[in-house]
Amino acid sequence: MRKIDSLLSEYGESHQTKFNKIVHYFCVPAIFFSLIGLFSAIPIGLSLQEVVPTGLAPFMHIGTLIIVLGLFYYLRLSVTLFVGMLVFSALVLLGINVIANANIAPVWVIMVAIFVIAWIVQFVGHNHEGKKPSFLKDVQFLMIGPAWTMSHLFEVLKIKF
């Protein structure tokens, strides 16, 4: 059995009820989005922003660095999963940029709100299921959550990963 199959199977053990699955389909991407958004508030530095094309400069922040490092992890597990997470990550970065440009509130305030609400709802889902979150067993499952969600999307789209 491939390592990704083993990890997804183990993660899935604490995500069996329909309610908890639906909660995770929404909350895992929301938590990913909010974490990257929080890290986006930490710039890498003006010098790096000056050497990239103007259109990429708004994306030069710690959030992008975290995504790049995470993508290496996903690449080791599955090329198809890597491509899916790459596309999702690009959409996340675009969404964060839209929020930042909207000037509704500081990005970090919006991201903290999303993060807190999503985690509360996830704990409600786990309470409903009667099982603890997987990451309490192994921190690696914080990275597997987005992959598990992506794997379900791939199954619906009939994409082998």
Name the pTM for this structure: 0.90
**Which residues are paired to 123 by β-bridges?**
none
Q: How high is the mean pLDDT of the chain?
A: 91
What residue type is assigned to position 136 of the chain?
L
pLDDT at residue 49 tops 80 = no
* pLDDT tens, position by position, 146-160: 999 999 999 999 998
Backbone angles phi, psi at 17, to 5 degrees: -75, 150
The fraction of the chain above a pLDDT of 70, given in percent, is 96
Q: How far apart are CA 44 and CA 59, in angstroms?
A: 10
Closest CA to 15 of 144, 158, 159: 144
| pLDDT confidence of residue 45 | 66
Q: How far apart are CA 8 and CA 78, in angstroms?
A: 12
DSSP letters, 12-57, are: HTT--SHHHHHHHHHHHHHHHHHHHHHHHTSB--HHHHHHS-GGGG
Does residue 42 lie in a domain region? yes
Does residue 15 lie in a domain region? no
Does residue 145 lie in a domain region? yes
Does residue 91 lie in a domain region? yes
Does residue 19 lie in a domain region? no
Burial class (CB in 10 A: 0-12, 13-18, 19+), 63: buried
pLDDT at residue 43 tops 80 = no
Does residue 126 lie in a domain region? yes
Tokens of 137: 């067993």
Q: Which residues constitute the domain of residue 114? A: 3-10+24-157
Does residue 60 lie in a domain region? yes
Total domain count, the chain: 1
* pLDDT tens, position by position, 56-115: 878 888 999 999 999 999 999 999 999 999 999 999 999 999 999 999 999 999 999 999
